[in-house]
Amino acid sequence: MELTILILLLPFFSFLILGIGGKWMSHRTAGTIGTLILGAVAVLSYVTAIQYFSAPRLEDGTFATLIPYNFTWLPFTETLHFDLGILLDPISVMMLIVISTVSLMVHIYSFGYMKGEIGFQRYYAFLSLFTMSMLGLVVATNIFQMYLFWELVGVSSYLLIGFYYTKPAAIAASKKAFIVTRFADLGFLIGILIYGYYGGTFGFTPDTVSLISGGASMLPLALGLMFVGGAGKSAMFPLHIWLPDAMEGPTPVSALIHAATMVVAGVYLVARMFPLFIAYAPNTLHMVAWVGAFTAFYAASVACVQSDIKRVLAFSTISQIGFMMVALGVCTSMDPHEGGLGYMASMFHLFTHAMFKALLFLGAGSIIHAVHSNEMSAMGGLRKYMPITHWTFLIACLAIAGIPPFSGFFSKDEILAACFQYSPVMGWVMTVIAAMTAFYMFRLYYGIFWGSEPLRAGSHSEHNTPKGNLEAAPCRPHESPLAMTFPLMFLAVVTCGAGFIPFGHFISSNGESYSIHLDPSVAITSVVIAIISIAIATWMYKNAKQPVADSLEKQFKGLHKAAYNRFYIDDIYQFITHKIIFRCISTPIAWFDRHVVDGFFDFLAWATNTTSDEIRGLQSGQVQQYAYVFLCGALALILLLIL
């Protein structure tokens, strides 16, 4: 455990080395340094996990909470102080595994995907910074340290999303992500300050004396505001608008940030504060569940009609994060047998989702690398040309659809079981959303690997390509190099086997060992519904011609258009910000500032300058003039005194 500090220091040093000295390195050298250092971090994370979970449990049946490093940075009172350190408990150790594994796969994958890109060294430096920030967030010993690394995650994601800074779309996407998440983080910061003031500490356990003196009544407000920050990071409705646009970044970045790590920060925050939610703010926790359910349904609806494969996966991510939030929100106690199952289910789904969603994004990157387009119209029939990508992508689709024996089935089944325990309505709502997930993922799968194969350019004639775009339809797609296919195969193996991990023995709501047992009624129902959804998608999208899909699109033209345009949520934000805030509020304020405030100070400057011009003649340097003025003044005073 003494080496855990290196888990944070190594990626930080990698960032410094590549950021400062990268311009003197070759692409191969920079990529090798970044990948080897991340490999060392992954090894340390696995060693830490093995040591932690193999240690004997405490007398109460829980794993010990270890703090190998901690020092006080800014002390205020005996209980209120800013600390920096490393905390190891079941969920933080699990997150170390998730972050280091996915980040290592992305580092390896980027060797092939980013080959020859301008700014290759800068890209690896930003990857290291992001990884360090995310690792620091999950091992934080207190809520303020979490906030520091939370903001570092935001900064590094801004740099990665805007990597192609010469593209206007990438610039706009990075600014949008940064502004939306900063707006949400303001709520997080206010919540932290309220929590610190009334809870008497920045630790994850509030001071008992402070709670007795009235602080407990303010904890629901503080926790609710913290959730706002989590909702921004995890792209919960209505703060979800940044995530689809963030796909403008390189595809490996999408796999790292928007599938496995950054977007689950909000889920991790709620899980970290879970005992406080249960004890002091159960109603706030249930609100989290319904926000998550609505977000999941909204995102699934939009994903069903998108044509850009990365946007389908982006909305799929939003929907799956909604599942995790719902699982946490439906908990009613700390006992996994009596209302606390959702906690374990949420963390289990976080783990499995990270693996198969990273696989989906990296598979999408491999496809985009082959056809040079994000649109499904430029794809079709790719299973013949890209067998490894095809089979690994299919495994990930089956996992997210909840088909046994793939990992997504086990975690999603536990979530549905927790939902049915909470409320039959919530259970059926989430079951329907799970069915929609299976449908849109296999719509995506058939659109890429089956369907009609577009005419591909056999020569340099533009007549053989869709819309005359040679880049959108290259001569012949090909399988990606080993640097890109190895991460796909590795993550596919993990996706096949992760469901059989006895996850409940490591992580549960009360920390005690919990044996996962599938509810047959829930499991059978969800699998049958998923198979029916896949069958419908197969019937509609497998063949070259899709008459059913086309007729439904025409019949529900308005609904289809609205869903394709994300139900105009972005347009509403644009209207509110540009037409109302900018035009009706910002413009008058700017006019007042420019003409009234600046005008007043300009007038003072002008008056001072003019007056000085008029009176500067009094300072002539002539003694006779000074004597004359002195005498005149003295005479005036005498006359004033006499009269």
Pair of tokens at residue 446: 């058939």
Looking at residues 136-141, what average pLDDT do you find? Answer: 90
How confident is residue 77, by pLDDT bands cut at 50, 70 and 90?
A: confident
Cα atoms in the 13 Å half-sphere on the side-chain side of 247: 21
How confident is residue 462, by pLDDT bands cut at 50, 70 and 90?
A: very low
pTM for the structure as a whole: 0.85
Q: Please report the pLDDT score of residue 564 as a whole number.
A: 82
Residues 183-221: tens digit of each pLDDT: 888 989 999 888 888 877 787 877 665 666 666 778 888
Q: Which residues contact 463 (CB under 8 A, 6 or more apart)?
A: none
How confident is residue 113, by pLDDT bands cut at 50, 70 and 90?
A: confident
Q: Please report the pLDDT score of residue 470 as a whole number.
A: 36
Nearest in space to 415 (alpha carbons), one of 502, 336, 341, 350: 341
b/e per residue 141-170 (b: at least 16 CB within 10 A) = bbbbbbbbbbbbbbebbbbbbbbbeeeeeb
Contact 88, 250 (CB under 8 A): no
- Strand 81-88 and strand 66-75: the pairing is antiparallel
Amino acid at 320: Q
Instruction: Say if residue 461's pLDDT is above 80.
Output: no
Report residue 114 CA to chain centroid gap: 22
Pair of tokens at residue 124: 């690896």
Q: Please report the pLDDT score of residue 465 as a whole number.
A: 35
Looking at residues 46-69, what average pLDDT do you find? Answer: 86
What is the three-state SS of 327-346?
A: HHHCCCCCCCCCCCHHHHHH
Q: Is 618 exposed, middle or buried (0-12, 13-18, 19+ CB in 10 A)?
A: exposed
SS3 165: coil
Q: Please report the pLDDT score of residue 458 as a whole number.
A: 46
Q: Please report the pLDDT score of residue 211 as a whole number.
A: 66
Contact 478, 370 (CB under 8 A): yes
Q: Please report the pLDDT score of residue 627 as a whole number.
A: 87
CA distance 394 to 438: 12
Pair of tokens at residue 288: 């989290």
**Rounded alpha-carbon distances, angstroms, from residue 471 to 311, 313, 444, 477, 575:** 20, 23, 21, 12, 35
Q: Which residues contact 211 (CB under 8 A, 6 or more apart)?
A: 199, 200, 219
